Amino acid sequence: MLKVANLVTEFASIKALNDISFQAKPGRITTVIGANGAGKSTLLRTISGLERPTSGSIKWFDEELTDKSVEAIVRSGVAQVPEGHAVISQLSVAENIELGGLFRKRQARGDLEIATKEVYELFPILFERRREPAGSLSGGERQMLAISRALVARPKLLLLDEPSLGLAPLISAQIISIVDQLCKSTGLTVLLVEQNANTALAVADHGILLALGKVVADLPAKELIADSALRAAYLGY
Amino acid sequence: MNSFLTAFFAGTSQGAIYALVSLGLVLVWRGAGVVNFAQMGQAMFTTYIASQLIQNEYSYWSAFVIALISGALLGALVDLGIMRPLSSRKNSQLLNSQSMRTTVPVIASLGILGVLKALAGIFWAGEERGFPAPVPTTGLRLGNSDLAITGFDLFVIGVVFLALVLTTIFFTRTGMGLAMRASALNPEVTRLSGIRVGSVRTLSWAISGTASSLAGLLVTPKTNLSPNTLDLLLIIGFTAAVVGGLTSLAGSVLGGFILGYVIAFVNVYSAPENVFLAILIFLLLALFLRPQGILGSKEVRRV
Amino acid sequence: SATAASVPGVSKSQIVLGMQLPQTGGASPGYNKIDDAARAYFDYVNSKGGVNGRNIKLVVKDDEYKAGRTITTARELINNDKIFAFFGSVGTQTHLSVVKDINRRGIPDLFVNSGYSGFYTDPKKYPNTFGGLGTYTVEAKILGKYLKEKYPDKKIGILWQSDDFGRNALAGLAASGLKFEARKTSASFVAGTHGSIGLGTQIGQLKANGVDIVIIAAVSSATAVAYATAAALAYKPTKWAVISVGADATTFQTILGARGTAPATSAALLAGTITASHAPAAGDADDEYIKAFKKINDDFNNGADKRWDNNVLQGMNIAYLATSALLGVGKKLTRPKLVSYLKKNGSKLSSAAFSPIGYSGTTHEAFTGFWLGEYDASLVLKPIDGTRVVYTTDSANGPVTVSNYKRPAIAADALPRVG
Amino acid sequence: MNSSQLALSNLSVSFGGVKALTDVSLTVPKNSVVGLIGPNGAGKTTVFNCISGLVKSDSGSFEFDGVKRAFPKPHELVGLGITRTLQGVGLFNDLSVLQNVMVGADKKYRPNFVKEILGLSGKTEANLVRRAEEALAWVGGASLIGREPSELSYPDSKRVALARALVTNPTLLMLDEPAAGLGQDDIDSLAVLIRQLKKRCAILIVEHHVDFVREISDSVSVLNFGKLIASGTYDEVKQNPAVIEAYLGHSDKSDENSKLGA
Amino acid sequence: MSKVKTHKVIGFRSTRLAIIFFVFILLLSMKFGPYNQFQLANIATLLIAVLSITLLTGASGQISLGQGAIMAVGGYSAALLVTRLEISMWLAFVLAIFVSALFGLFLGLAAARLSGPYLAGTTLVMALAIPSIAIRFDSFFSGDIGFSVDYGYPPDWLTNLLGEITIEEWSLYVALPFAALSLFAVLNLSNTRSGRTWRAVRDNEVAASLAGINIARTKIIVFVCSSALAGLAGAIYGFRGLVAPSVYPTDLSLLLLTAAVIGGLRSIGGAIFGTFVIVFLPDVIERVTKFLELPETISIYLPALMIGLLLLLTVILNPRGSAGALEHIRHRHKH
Ligand SMILES: Nc1ncnc2c1ncn2[C@@H]1O[C@H](COP(=O)(O)OP(=O)(O)OP(=O)(O)O)[C@@H](O)[C@H]1O
Ligand SMILES: Nc1ncnc2c1ncn2[C@@H]1O[C@H](COP(=O)(O)OP(=O)(O)OP(=O)(O)O)[C@@H](O)[C@H]1O
Ligand SMILES: [Mg+2]
Ligand SMILES: [Mg+2]
């Protein structure tokens, strides 16, 4: 269970997150929606340790994540697919994927091979291009690679920041459904940030609506989909 | 022995030395993403330490080992004290363009070089002194003829190739090598992969510090030791790295030998006064034909 | 008094001299001992009451052997330290950058530590500049003549550093009839690169061309590298002859010693090497000047490295010369007086050198004579064939003749006597 | 004939072994919006890169405004009347918003270098400022003038990037995924803007946001594995089985979504 | 809309700043003794060279470790013109600008393809190779002896006007107008289209080229401008007494870079500040060591140590240099 309590994250003079509290159920998808600049990415980056909160706490089951380093957080089972196609363009596709599982190499060599095979099955194009530098991939292909890198880490908590960005509709639907399956089959917990609310909420258990760094709605996903007034007020449709 | 052989042997033995320097530079470039102009400063400093120990009656090999260890420590210190704060959050926001990100560490390394030279001057008065070689520096004989190559030259060549093989395996075949390359290229993504970027980078500075230190120990038997004698070597070694391709370990070694031959043949068939000019022309030519260096790979960056 | 106040750098109790030399940087090794040695001698003079009641103060500036810096430090010495005269400036290229200005301002420019004849052979151009060394040309002429006559059938070659020093030496050798052929008997290298670029190809070329006698015109550290390289290439010329700048036995042994060469081995390498000197050999413990200077060095030198060698001797000797010149001018010290004193009486001044001072209306070269010696097994320079013969000549095409100069004895208090 | 702003024919590009484009032909009529869609890695960005000279084509011809010519170099585009925005933002972080837009205008209204050194280019500069302000106002960014790019929200920086493209008065505007990462609000206003822009120039758009594409484009071309598999109006193309197979998928979910959004 | 107005008066603003600089240095020189006046002349001279780095590295992001070599080109051109053709020093300075600009053109043609470390390396080798040409062709360039050239004597009208002029004052009067003019030109360039273009290229080459900027040509133009400045600085620097390889060593290039960095690579005010630091710091240190009675073995290395440390502190604490720090403080106050 991910528990975020009274989280505040500041940049220079603005409060990107202003007293955020919510919980994400284990084995479920929790979707975070909100307009541009609402603080969605900041929330994920704060959880994964890329940003330091000014106050508040983040707990993953009994583990306090708040003041840990990014590396330590990742090692305790949290993986993030950051916004934008975050790959290392000079490294080959295979190396990018290998990198994702590197910290598990000692304990889980066999499983790494399986995990790698799985993502190659998921995205055959990556297998085809595995020896090429990641920089030569198309925008969408890079996004697939970034997701793969996170998946081979076999995370328990997956933070997805706009995974559909730059992906063709078919692929983005496919990814969402894969994530959904993973939750169901492995108990993966997912925090999914999407601009386009509907597809993301459709598979989610819970929905959180952010505006100006505050939680304005924390409802079961179905209710959030249905609440057109709320959406109209905060998302413009 | 004719002029050709003279040039060939001299080029080989000097080339091995340039290769050693150049390999060290490429090591930091790939491991930490910095062109370290302080490298020969670090080499000079640790070699002085070894020299001091030898003067105080320590054996060569114990001085050798201590120098390597101090090289590692100095490298780590450079990272912890300077390079890490440099790439800190606050600064990375200030240096938001690619060109500045490569420029500023270069400048920092020049500062480190200045500081190390001045400190060496204060500690060791800056006199020029020799430094012993671990193996004999007298020429080898083949049958009845003297070869213009010494046991020490062969030793250096051996070390260069051993270092090349080991570092290549390390970088391409091991997880740590991958982690290092990744840390140098994109710290954020690397950290998100659970890798302790800070420690990895410090480690790679320590390794390159050891390599510099080794270079210092192996070049000074031929060049002598003073705060300044290694400057020129850095420039030549750097040229070698650029010619060979900054991203390629094998390229750096190749570049080192090529430069050794260029210099030796210009020396023999033209005039020593032409050497620097020849280096410049050669460098421009090489970069004109292959801007990424002979074995370097072109960076693919897409929009 | 009014007159004293109007002379810069001279007060009732003090005379300020200024010196520029590389104390740090690549060109500093060895030379950075000259200032400490000179100061030691001046301190000794001061301890004996100074010159006509005035103490000599030596202000030293580090120009790092960068001409751009020398220009600034010279202005500092002139304007801030208000020196009376420049003294013992080290380095040809650096001094070139200021010599015109110094002369234009009428400041005496004493005992320049450069063998570049261009400073001295046209006193109309630089009336205030006086040498502190023999010129490279003179020395090379003398050495060349000797080698040519002594070894008529041997192949003589040269290893020279391609700068003013090397070129001057080459010119002197040419004047004595020794000519070299590029890429056969003449091997050059860019000054300062003997470490990083190495001397392998140069020495290899000399070897390949069967050169029997190798003349070296390079700095001492390069000489040491040249010998070591030759040893590595198993090249054993019949004879080495080294221009004195590069023949400092202490530097030679320090460098090779630190390379792990046992002192006996490095001594054996250098032994038999011919070189020239205007002064007594630094290692000549019996020489009266050396004895006196060594004692002063022990007692008064506060420098970082006061080990006795040619550089220390040179520093002491020019300080000795400066003291005699200042004594000679007398109580009423002005710049023009000092200059005209040196012009008139310079040639009468004595020092540790076995050569007279050459100052005259046509030249301001210091030591016009050299004697030739060979290092013995203990690395003391001993006159060739046992007796010291001092040869003298000029920096142009004049003949080399035997000098009949007799060096006056040093006074018991090691202070110069004039008049 | 003369009604086509841009006509590409038989364009082929390969990278090493990868055939990124095979025989692609594409026409952008004047004052129309053409959408270029297709799965990831189909070659859409490569088409853009070819037109803008960032990638060299193996074969193919380039016709602009009825004139055949070689593929232009990147910096020649503006002179021809073509501007392009980048996937992502691509603002100059060290320049203010106004200066960013001025950079776009510089090329067209180039002042004299000597005058510049002598400090006499004030008039030209003022002119540039005026044009930049106009362009910013056009995209609804008049209030952003004094700001720095790093302070901007994502939609605002996209706006500035668009202003920088528009300030040159292009005849062909190429937009690479302009709607990506934008909220519905901003997508809607972008659509409005593009419909207005159509009066001024032809527009070629790459976009995965199919509703947006449908809404704004007069025609669409669909790429798959570097080949053109269909073209026509969105509604025609949408029925094409090959397109459904490769790109849209069978469950026409996106249409449902748009109903919700509309 | 106040921005519009400032743009209209670009010329006025830079004229004003250049005049302020000019007058400030002159006033300072009246307070100073001859040595410090000479140091001011050095500042004026080196400032031009530092500005050339501010343009190159600061504005366009291209690093040069060989600016000293370009200074040598300027110095030699002027010295050759004066000694061989006997033209006036002033004309020689102006021509030196053109010769080094031409040199910058060739350099730029080669360098436009390079970036980052590759460019740094090439320029570093250049710093080594260019002065060696003088030795290689010593009959023409007179080897390491070089050319003894100086500013000569002040013209009569000036001495009539101001009375007796010392050599140091004359040095300052020669260098200062050039420095003020360079400042004026650089201010103009960096505040208008050129500066904008350069910074755009530095920030994002692809976006810049799509905005119609010819990247290669822009880089070449920067090299030409920067070399013209460096060449002018080199000519004035050489005429302090000597034009020879030892006047333009590799260290000079690094020292200039240090000045530019300490002040703030991107700021013209920083260039001025940094130049003051590198010129006056050794003097300050000398005073301190005298005061503390440090032994010579330490004190002679102290200037180099301090410059190195200062450089490190600058890049660590504030890579934008001291000017950046000021900017930062100003920003804080605005908020
Ligand atoms: N590194 C930063 N420095 C300063 N401000 C920042 C930084 N990162 C984000 N912000 C600000 O914090 C606020 C929240 O940004 P965030 O990126 O979290 O929004 P978002 O909801 O993810 O938006 P989008 O949908 O555009 O991705 C915004 O106002 C943004 O400008
Ligand atoms: N420089 C390159 N080197 C190698 N392959 C490349 C290069 N550029 C593009 N490709 C390949 O060409 C194909 C087409 O790429 P392109 O970027 O045009 O796709 P796209 O249609 O824009 O995809 P997306 O929607 O994901 O952005 C991809 O498979 C890509 O990996
Ligand atoms: Mg976001
Ligand atoms: Mg694309």
Confidence label for B97 from pLDDT (cuts 50, 70 and 90): low
Contact C92, E143 (CB under 8 A): no
Note whether B133 contacts C207, CB cutoff 8 Å: no
Instruction: Give the residue from B141, B267, B274 with the most C CB atoms within 10 Å of its CB, the best one to mutate.
Output: B267
Q: What is the pLDDT of residue D262?
A: 29
Contact C379, C270 (CB under 8 A): yes
Q: Indicate the average pLDDT of chain E.
A: 87
A-chain residue closest to D185, CA distance: A236
Instruction: Please give the average per-residue pLDDT across C240-269, as a whole number.
Output: 84
Q: Which chains are adjacent to chain D, needing at least 3 Cβ pairs under 8 Å?
A: A, B, E
Which percentage of chain E shows pLDDT scores above 90?
Answer: 42
Note whether E300 contacts B99, CB cutoff 8 Å: no
Ligand 1 center from residue A47 Cα (angstroms): 15
Of the listed ranges B162-166, E29-33, E135-139, E145-149, the least confidently predicted one is: E135-139
Residue (of A77, A84, A98, A188) closest to A148 by Cα position: A98
- Chain C residue set in contact with B, beta carbons under 8 Å: 24-26, 28-30, 32, 162, 182-183, 188-190, 192-193, 195-198, 200-202, 204-205, 207-208, 221, 224-225, 228, 231-234, 251, 254-261, 304-305
Confidence label for D254 from pLDDT (cuts 50, 70 and 90): very low
Note whether B194 contacts A88, CB cutoff 8 Å: no
Ligand 2 center from residue D42 Cα (angstroms): 7
Q: Which CATH number characterizes residue D39's domain?
A: 3.40.50.300
User: Tens of pLDDT along A48-100?
Assistant: 998 889 999 999 888 888 888 999 999 989 999 988 888 998 899 999 999 99
Under 8 Å CB-to-CB from D17, ≥6 apart: which residues? none
Q: Where are the domains of chain B?
A: 2-89+100-131+147-230
Gap between the Cα atoms of D143 and B63, Å rounded: 68
Which percentage of chain C shows pLDDT scores above 90?
Answer: 54
Q: What is the pLDDT of residue B91?
A: 56
Instruction: Please give the average per-residue pLDDT across B228-257, as a whole number.
Output: 90
Ligand 2 center from residue A160 Cα (angstroms): 23
Q: Is residue E265 part of a domain?
A: no
Residue (of C147, C197, C209) closest to C172 by Cα position: C147
Q: For A220, phi and psi rounded to 5 degrees?
A: -55, 145
Instruction: Kindly report the protein residue whose alpha carbon is nearest to atom 3 of ligand 1.
Output: A11
Q: Indicate the average pLDDT of chain C.
A: 89
SS3 B180: helix
Instruction: Give the residue from E42, E170, E237, E247 with the most C CB atoms within 10 Å of its CB, the best one to mutate.
Output: E247
Pocket test for ligand 2, best of D45, D57, D222, D229 (most atoms within 8 A of CB): D45
Which percentage of chain D shows pLDDT scores above 70?
Answer: 92
Of the listed ranges B284-288, C53-57, C116-120, E65-69, the least confidently predicted one is: B284-288
Note whether E193 contacts D106, CB cutoff 8 Å: yes
Q: How many CB atoms lie within 10 A of CB D225?
A: 15
Under 8 Å CB-to-CB from C416, ≥6 apart: which residues? C320, C321, C323, C324, C327, C349, C350, C351
Pocket test for ligand 1, best of D144, D152, D153 (most atoms within 8 A of CB): D153
Note whether B96 contacts D54, CB cutoff 8 Å: no
Under 8 Å CB-to-CB from C175, ≥6 apart: which residues? C137, C140, C141, C144, C396, C397
- Give the closest of A139, A199, A235 to D87, CB-based: A139
Q: Beta C156-161 vs C109-112: how paired, if at all?
A: unpaired
**Predicted confidence (pLDDT) at residue B125 exceeds the cutoff of 60:** yes
Q: Which domain holds residue D39?
A: 1-81+170-262
Confidence label for D259 from pLDDT (cuts 50, 70 and 90): very low
Provide the chain D residues 46-65 that lie in CB contact (below 8 A) with chain E.
52, 54
Spell out which residues of chain E touch residue B284, defining contact as CB-CB under 8 Å: 110, 122
Note whether D247 contacts A166, CB cutoff 8 Å: no
Q: What is the pLDDT of residue E212?
A: 86
Q: How many domains does chain E have?
A: 1
The amino acid at residue A162 is E
Ligand 4 center from residue A138 Cα (angstroms): 5
User: Tens of pLDDT along E195-217?
Assistant: 889 888 888 888 888 888 888 88
Positive or negative, the Cα torsion across D200, D201, D202, D203? Answer: negative
Q: How many CB atoms lie within 10 A of CB E22?
A: 18
Residues D160, D176 share a domain: no
Ligand 3 center from residue D41 Cα (angstroms): 24
Ligand 2 center from residue D78 Cα (angstroms): 24
Note whether A168 contacts D155, CB cutoff 8 Å: no
Q: E184-208 b/e with 16+ CB inside 10 Å = b?
A: bbbbbbbbbbbbbbbbbbbbbbbbb
Note whether E34 contacts C79, CB cutoff 8 Å: yes
The amino acid at residue A232 is A
Residues D185, D75 share a domain: yes
Instruction: Kindly report the protein residue whose alpha carbon is nearest to atom 30 of ligand 1.
Output: A37
Q: Is the CB of D88 under 6 A from ligand 2?
A: no
Q: Is residue D213 part of a domain?
A: yes
Provide the CATH topology of domain A1-77+155-237.
Rossmann fold (3.40.50)
Q: Which residues line ligand 1 (CB under 6 A)?
A: A 11-12, 14, 16, 34, 36-42, 83, 195; D 153-154, 181
Provide the chain B residues 126-165 that lie in CB contact (below 8 A) with chain E.
126
Ligand 3 center from residue A39 Cα (angstroms): 7
Confidence label for C126 from pLDDT (cuts 50, 70 and 90): very high
Instruction: Give the residue from D75, D110, D115, D167 with the most E CB atoms within 10 Å of its CB, the best one to mutate.
Output: D75
- Which atom belonging to ligand 1 lies closest to the Cα atom of A12? 4
- Give the closest of C62, C97, C164 to E143, CB-based: C164
Q: Is the CB of A139 under 6 A from ligand 2?
A: yes
Q: How many CB atoms lie within 10 A of CB D169?
A: 14
Residues D123, D68 share a domain: no
Ligand 3 center from residue D123 Cα (angstroms): 41
Residues D175, D69 share a domain: yes
| Token duo for residue D185 | 């609000």
Choose between E335 and D193: higher pLDDT.
Answer: D193
Q: Is residue E29 part of a domain?
A: yes
Residues D76, D54 share a domain: yes
Confidence label for D246 from pLDDT (cuts 50, 70 and 90): confident
| Token duo for residue C71 | 């220009």
Q: Which chains are adjacent to chain A, needing at least 3 Cβ pairs under 8 Å?
A: B, D
Gap between the Cα atoms of A30 and C334, Å rounded: 95
Q: Is residue D186 part of a domain?
A: yes
Q: Is residue E294 part of a domain?
A: no
Q: How many CB atoms lie within 10 A of CB A127?
A: 16
Q: Indicate the average pLDDT of chain B.
A: 87
3-class SS shares of chain B: helix, strand, coil, % to 5: 75, 5, 20
Q: Which chains are adjacent to chain B, needing at least 3 Cβ pairs under 8 Å?
A: A, C, D, E
Q: Is residue E330 part of a domain?
A: no
Residues D5, D77 share a domain: yes
Positive or negative, the Cα torsion across E94, E95, E100, E103? Answer: positive
Which range among A160-169, C284-293, E7-16 has the greatest average pLDDT?
Answer: C284-293
Q: Which domain holds residue E33?
A: 7-248
Confidence label for D109 from pLDDT (cuts 50, 70 and 90): low
Spell out which residues of chain D touch residue B93, defining contact as CB-CB under 8 Å: 150
Spell out which residues of chain E touch residue B229, defining contact as CB-CB under 8 Å: none
Tell me the ipTM for this assembly: 0.89
**Predicted confidence (pLDDT) at residue C109 exceeds the cutoff of 70:** yes
Give ion ligand 3 contacts, CB < 5 A: A 40-41, 83
